[in-house]
Amino acid sequence: MISNKLLKNMTIYFVVLLIIAIAFTGIGCVDKENTEDTDISQTSSITIKGSDTVLPLSQAESEDFMYANPYKSITVIGGGSGVGIAALIDGEVEIAMASREMKGSEIEKAQANGINPVETVIAWDGIAVVVNPENPIKQLTFEQLKGIYNGSISNWADVGGENRVITVITRDSSSGTYEYFKEEILVEDQYRQDALVQPATGAIVQEIAQNKGAIGYIGYAYLDKSITALEIDSGDGFVDATTENIMSGDYPLARPLLYYTNGEPSGLAKEFIDYVLSSTGQDIVSDVGYFPVM
């Protein structure tokens, strides 16, 4: 027969064992739950590089995407369309941003490197020709723009303005906007030799805001009150660079904004591009100042 003292000791012993078992079981449950919530093995990342025009849009899209997907990382870098395309060709990035289509020579080089460029239109943009707000000129024709940028026109008085030397500003040759403007305005001509080359759109805005004689061209999203967008006439009458005119096709300097991937998008690149093309992503396109593809 078990004594009361032995029974008491056995009860204490089993209670202690039960507490220890519960403690270890609980710890295991907590660890498992935490692991499911913070498993870094599910973290993935991509790099997007290229057009300074597309840059603010990609930054806004990626910030919103990463907020909803905290264990997925997207790095966005500018530098120009040519820089982004070169990075894709070299296999350095998952997505290249471009404000122009890839050249035939770029596609050939990509294919030689085993890269198959696939284009996705993510938004539309208008190119605004801008001057200082104190410049009395409010309109220019394609021919006048061509003369200003090829060097045959060098004074504002030659296009109905003040007797003031024109400071011509352009993007660098790696820019898709540079290429687009050259094709649309200069056609077969070259940019004038004394044009002031800027490496980024923001620098163009800053220079024109400080220089009464300056003229430049920028993506629509970069317009602000420090500069004035001109009305442009390509032959059918002068048209403002407004949302309505760009989306209707009435404004003559409009273009698609592009993502390039190696083959059809897959993995996180596909997930991100699908997000950009979703109704939420296209709302961000409008918020940033560009125009949706939907």
Q: What is the CATH number of domain 43-124+256-288?
A: 3.40.190.10
Residue 289: pLDDT band (50, 70, 90) is confident
pLDDT higher than threshold 50 for residue 20? no
Q: Each residue of 173-220: pLDDT tens digit?
A: 989 999 999 999 999 999 999 999 999 999 999 999 999 999 999 999
30 vs 10: CA distance, rounded Å: 30
- In this prediction, residue 28 carries a pLDDT of 39
User: For the chain, which residues make up each domain, given as ranges?
Assistant: 43-124+256-288, 125-254
Better-scored residue on pLDDT, 21 or 164 = 164
Q: Each residue of 229-241: pLDDT tens digit?
A: 999 998 889 999 9
- Distance of CA 109 to CAs 90, 94, 229, 257, 287, Å? 9, 17, 38, 22, 36
- In this prediction, residue 43 carries a pLDDT of 55
Evaluate whether 43-124+256-288 and 125-254 have a shared fold: yes
At 199 the three-state DSSP class reads: coil
Q: Residues with Cβ < 8 Å from 29, sequence gap 6 or more?
A: none
Q: Each residue of 67-88: pLDDT tens digit?
A: 999 999 999 999 999 999 999 9
CATH superfamily of 125-254: Periplasmic binding protein-like II (3.40.190.10)
223: nearest Cα among 290, 281, 285: 290
- In this prediction, residue 182 carries a pLDDT of 95
**Could you tell me the two tokens for 114?**
């085993």
